[in-house]
Amino acid sequence: MSKWINLGDVNPLEYNGFFIKRDGKDSFYIVAIYNMEEVEYQRKGWLIEDGYIDLTDGWINWKAVKDFSGNLRNDYDKAYSAWLYYGYENFGGSRQIEYTKKAVIDLLNGLGIEL
């Protein structure tokens, strides 16, 4: 069973987190957390996005993703870069806002992500 890996900051609730878990050879679950005080929203709370990336999907323009990020060394880099380039909405994702740390931690724990 794959484990979640945080490609974001070591303090994801303070400075944003990007959690990724492999699901088979070419697919990944993604959970991104943005502290809204750290990003453009400038208000209290956390924006949480999730989705599922299949690296073999033919619609992904890998040249454009590479030109955007310059970093496609491994499958984790590919998934992260494609997520940043296309956004959660292109990977069957959803977005929600939580206003307390406890709510965020409970949500993450429910997904098997432990801080």
Q: What is the pLDDT of residues 88-111, one digit of tens each?
A: 999 999 999 999 999 999 999 999
Pairwise CA distance, residues 14 & 52, whole Å: 24
Q: In angstroms, what is the C-alpha Rg of the chain?
A: 14
| pTM score, whole prediction | 0.90
Determine the pLDDT at residue 71. 81
Q: For the chain, how many structural domains are there in total? A: 1
Residue 4 has pLDDT above 90, yes or no: yes
User: Apex CA 42: angle with CA 89 and CA 77, to 5°?
Assistant: 40
Domain hosting 104: range is 5-111
The string of pLDDT tens digits covering residues 33-65 is 999 987 776 788 999 999 999 999 999 999 999
The kind and range of the H/E element at 39 are none
The whole-angstrom separation of Cα 41 and Cα 102 is 20
Per DSSP (E only), the strands in 1-115 are 5-6, 17-22, 27-35, 46-54, 94-98
Amino acid found at 30: I
Q: Mean pLDDT over residues 8-12, rounded?
A: 92
